Amino acid sequence: MENFQLLLEGFATAATPMNLLLALIGVTVGTAVGVLPGIGPAMTVALLLPITYGLEPTGAMIMLAGILYGGMYGGSTTSILLNTPGESSSVVTAIEGNLMAKSGRAAQALATAAIGSFVAGTIGTLLVVFTMPWMTKFAISMGAPEYFAVILLAFIAVTAVLGSSRIRGFSSLMIGLAIGIIGIDATSGQSRMSFGVAQLGDGVDVIVVAVGIFALGEALWVAAHLRHGAADVIPVGRPFLGKQDWKRSWKPWLRGTAFGFPFGAVPAGGAEIPTFLSYITEKKLTKHPEEFGKGAIEGVAGPEAANNASAAGTFVPMLSLGLPTNATAAVLLAALVSYGIQPGPLLLQRESTLVWALLASLLIGNTLLVFLNLPLAPLWAKLLRIPRPYLYAGILFFAAMGAYAVNGSPFDLILLLGLGIIGFGMRRFGLPVLPLIVAVIMGPLIELQCRRALQLASGSPRGLIGGVDAATGLFALSPVCVTVYTIILIVLIWPVVYPPIRRRLDRRRTETAVDDTAKTGGTQR
Amino acid sequence: MSEAVAVAAKTRPPLVEFVPCAFLALMGVLVLIDAGTLSNNRTGVDPLGPRAVPIVVGVVSLILAVALAVSVRRGHLAEAESGEDIDLGHKADVKTVLLLIGVFTLNILLIDTLGWVISGGLLFYGSAIALGSRHFIRDLFIAAALSLGTFYAFAIGLGVNLPAGILQGIL
């Protein structure tokens, strides 16, 4: 049980009074900001990055872990108490959660979300701990060709699997890659895409991109469509669960966790699919089907657990491979890069203390959240009434501060504004923002790995699918590459191949039984 | 996420829907022009060279620009992003957005000379008013409290890089 030992060491690092304080500040500020309407977990982390600037990396990551879980919890509070859904990951929680709140059971809805998040986050983090050594073994066995293939898979996955328009997804990816090209090319020493602007020589800081796209872009977009007359906030007392509620919640929590974690752990799994799967599962298994559509506690407990387990799962690819699979992980990786830490397969070897302290503080932060949020929920609900002009003016204010502080240069503010306008345009024209941010982070890396892979094969393109076997001295296909490219191929040709099959199936179904079509049709979205 | 909404294929989509196509095309051309200025020193150490990735990005962007234009022309319009405070029922409030961009630009121009406390305060004050706040006096106090508070907490407390500007020595 070597990993258990390491986790205990992580606790020793994370549990110093100073680091505990950082975790506490992180969850508190994270929840407070995450509760604010319109601010999702990714924007919470991006806006709060400056408070970690003065810390050393371990302390900063401990605080960011707190901010992340706080922001996620805050997000679900918002979606339960406001009658409009916020970020896509809590849309499903909002369906039954908001109905519960409307029928006077807001306290129970918040309680099952809080405790469910705790259960799912804890189990999820422990699963990360146990998969870590195995994942690391896999990660360090990877050479340049394998790493190249895996990043390519991440690109294809975030663009082609998530979101509905592939053209728009790939467009977003290309914008991100173009931003990633800006700056001096490390291998050849030539300045690319800087058009004679000296400040562009260092490239565009990933944090400026994240803050510009997530914070400034969102604030400008909301400003253009601000709801006149604030949305109704449902008042809430101290959250609690009755005996019956516990009985009805615990199984959905566990099932939600089982759905969420694997989806979080694979590239492009995301939280949308598992929360939805959890919802339809609970709807089928419940003993109170009549309550679904009127506020069923199972419909909150399951999806919320799935959401949190998925968030925990994203730490697997993020820590072992340096792959961000959702927006929040992308911002966290951007933060890591800004501390001079190179994410990737060697992270766990080089920064073992940091990684295990981070995992331990995820567990600590999760526990702090439950104790903090049950009594503080009425206060958080008050934050929802913040006047919107102050809220969005505040986002612009903190975005400007955070971006300026990266390099202490007004030039970054010009970039921030430009990126904010791009972010605005992307929201207007339905371009997803996740592919862009993933491409900015991973673009330079995939180019580097491609160069290394080709260099190892003396320029032959087959260097991308394998390498020279050290034992035999002969060229050998890499099983990892072959598998990954096969998956990519399937993902890409699926929409071309699938519709004719489905059409044929549909035809056969309508011919055989009308009843069956009605049933299966109901579960498809 | 956004779902492309099919409208009746015969109605011509509004021109503004083609903005992302134009953006992609322009970006693709810029990337390709820049790639053309690079000296392509492919070596044994670097068989790929510095031009390959920009060329791929540029060409794919141009292809996507065309593909997106065709898709929009066929009626697959974008679905704008929704959210908690967003009401897509009314037309975009262009004036507010331009005002916010203006206030933000002012902050960029003033931050180094006047310092964060003044320029940041103006940013908050101007943005709040642009967003519809009409408590002119109260907003001023909130803006001052925020910018002073962040300056003391971040620049002096945490050592974050924020300029004092003309208030150097007073703060």
pLDDT tens, position by position, A158-194: 887 666 688 999 999 999 999 999 998 888 888 898 8
B169: closest CA of chain A, how far (Å): 19
CB contact under 8 A, B154 and A401: yes
pLDDT score, position B9: 47
pLDDT of A287 > 80? The answer is yes
Q: Assess contact for A299 and A103: CB atoms under 8 A.
A: no
Whole-angstrom distance, CA of residue A509 vs CA of residue A183: 56
Q: Which of B47, B108, B128 sits opposite A393 (nearest CB)?
A: B128
pLDDT score, position A162: 64
Amino acid at B38: L
B107 close contact with A: CB closer than 8 A: yes
pLDDT of A523 > 60? The answer is no
B168 close contact with A: CB closer than 8 A: no
Q: Assess contact for A74 and A34: CB atoms under 8 A.
A: yes
pLDDT of A524 > 60? The answer is no
Q: Which of B19, B124, B162 sits opposite A397 (nearest CB)?
A: B124
Whole-angstrom distance, CA of residue A336 vs CA of residue A320: 14
Best B7, B21, B84 residue to mutate vs chain A (most A CBs within 10 Å): B84
CB contact under 8 A, B3 and A165: yes
Phi, psi of A300, deg, nearest 5: -100, -45
pLDDT score, position B105: 96
Q: Assess contact for A77 and A205: CB atoms under 8 A.
A: no
Q: Which positions in chain B touch A226 (Cβ < 8 Å)?
A: 85-87, 93, 96, 131-132
pLDDT of B171 > 60? The answer is yes
CB contact under 8 A, B92 and A162: no
Here the tokens at position B161 are 């890089």
Phi, psi of B12, deg, nearest 5: -75, 125
pLDDT of A91 > 80? The answer is no
Whole-angstrom distance, CA of residue A256 vs CA of residue A245: 16
CB contact under 8 A, A228 and B90: yes
Q: ipTM score of the complex?
A: 0.92
pLDDT score, position B159: 81
Which residues have a Cβ under 8 Å from the Cβ of A150 and sit 6 or more positions away? A142, A267, A321, A323, A480, A484
Q: Report chain B's mean pLDDT, rounded to a whole number.
A: 87
Q: Assess contact for B154 and B120: CB atoms under 8 A.
A: no
Q: Which chain B residue is nearest to residue A178, measuring alpha carbons?
A: B57
Q: Give the pLDDT mean for A386-392.
A: 90
Q: Give the pLDDT mean for A283-310.
A: 89
pLDDT of A57 > 90? The answer is no
pLDDT score, position A517: 42
pLDDT score, position B2: 41
CB contact under 8 A, A432 and B79: no
Identify the band that residue A84 occupies on the pLDDT scale cut at 50, 70 and 90: low
Percentage of residues in chain A having pLDDT higher than 90: 26
CB contact under 8 A, B50 and A185: yes
pLDDT of A105 > 80? The answer is yes
Best A191, A396, A416, A419 residue to mutate vs chain B (most B CBs within 10 Å): A396
Q: Give the pLDDT mean for A39-46.
A: 86
Domain map of chain B by residue range?
5-77, 94-167
Identify the band that residue A439 occupies on the pLDDT scale cut at 50, 70 and 90: very high
Q: Which residues of A326-358 are buried (b: 16+ CB within 10 A; e: fewer)?
A: bbbbbbbbbbbbbbebebbbebbeebeebbbbb
Best A226, A401, A426, A492 residue to mutate vs chain B (most B CBs within 10 Å): A401
B26: closest CA of chain A, how far (Å): 11
Q: Give the pLDDT mean for A104-109.
A: 88
Which residues have a Cβ under 8 Å from the Cβ of B168 and sit 6 or more positions away? B115
| C-alpha dihedral, A241 to A244 to A245 to A246, nearest 10° | 80
Question: Residue written as tokens 């299966």?
Answer: A520
3 state SS of B77 = strand
pLDDT of A426 > 60? The answer is yes
Q: Report chain A's mean pLDDT, rounded to a whole number.
A: 85
CA distances from A457 to A143, A421, A450, A468 (A): 12, 43, 11, 8
Q: Which residue, among B41, B82, B37, has the nearest Cα to B55 in the 3D structure? A: B37
Q: Which of A163, A188, A223 sits opposite B50 (nearest CB)?
A: A188
Neighbours of A431 (CB within 10 A): 29
Q: Assess contact for A382 and A184: CB atoms under 8 A.
A: no
pLDDT of A222 > 70? The answer is yes
Q: Which chain A residue is nearest to residue B24, measuring alpha carbons?
A: A171
Neighbours of A501 (CB within 10 A): 9
B5 DSSP β-pair partners: B77
Identify the band that residue A518 occupies on the pLDDT scale cut at 50, 70 and 90: very low
pLDDT of A495 > 80? The answer is no
Q: Give the pLDDT mean for A80-90.
A: 70
pLDDT score, position A83: 63
Neighbours of B47 (CB within 10 A): 20
Whole-angstrom distance, CA of residue A181 vs CA of residue A443: 8
pLDDT score, position A89: 72
Q: Which positions in chain B touch A396 (Cβ < 8 Å)?
A: 100, 103-104, 123-124, 127
Whole-angstrom distance, CA of residue B116 vs CA of residue A402: 12
| C-alpha dihedral, B104 to B108 to B113 to B115, nearest 10° | 60
**Selection from A100-104, A333-337, B18-22 with the highest mean pLDDT:** B18-22
Neighbours of B105 (CB within 10 A): 13
DSSP A369-395: HHHHHHHHHHHHHHHTTS-HHHHHHHH
Q: Give the pLDDT mean for B3-27.
A: 76
Pairing of strands A183-184, A475-477: unpaired
CB contact under 8 A, A220 and B116: no
Q: Assess contact for A174 and B61: CB atoms under 8 A.
A: yes
Q: Give B104-160 pLDDT, tens digit per residue.
A: 999 999 999 999 999 999 999 999 999 999 999 999 999 999 999 999 988 888 888
Phi, psi of B133, deg, nearest 5: -75, 140
Q: Assess contact for A110 and A349: CB atoms under 8 A.
A: no
Q: Give the pLDDT mean for A121-142.
A: 87
Q: Give the pLDDT mean for B58-62.
A: 96
H-helix segments, A205-289: 206-210, 217-224, 243-265, 272-285
Range in A60-74, A130-144, A198-212, B12-26 the model is least confident about = A130-144
3-state secondary structure A422-484: HHHHHHHCCCCCHHHHHHHHHHHHHHHHHHHHHHHCCCCHHHHCEEECCCCCCEEECHHHHHH
Which residues have a Cβ under 8 Å from the Cβ of A506 and sit 6 or more positions away? A517
Cα atoms in the 13 Å half-sphere on the side-chain side of B65:
18
Q: Burial level of A500, CB count in 10 A (0-12/13-18/19+)?
A: exposed
Percentage of residues in chain A having pLDDT higher than 70: 94
Task: Output A236 or B5, whichever has higher pLDDT.
Answer: A236
Task: Output A146 or A458, whichever has higher pLDDT.
Answer: A146
Q: Which residue, among A310, A258, A309, A302, has the nearest Cα to A283 in the 3D structure? A: A302
CB contact under 8 A, A78 and B84: yes
B40 close contact with A: CB closer than 8 A: no
pLDDT score, position A87: 66
Count CB pairs under 8 A between chains A and B: 265
Q: Which of B71, B86, B147 sits opposite A227 (nearest CB)?
A: B86
B54 close contact with A: CB closer than 8 A: yes
Task: Output A515 or A402, whichever has higher pLDDT.
Answer: A402
pLDDT score, position A27: 92
Where are the extended beta strands (E) located within chain B?
5-6, 76-77
Identify the band that residue A269 occupies on the pLDDT scale cut at 50, 70 and 90: low
Identify the band that residue A50 occupies on the pLDDT scale cut at 50, 70 and 90: confident
In chain B, which among 121-160 make CB contacts under 8 A with chain A? 123-125, 127-133, 142, 146-147, 150, 154, 157-160
Question: Residue written as tokens 């196509």?
Answer: B21
B162: closest CA of chain A, how far (Å): 6
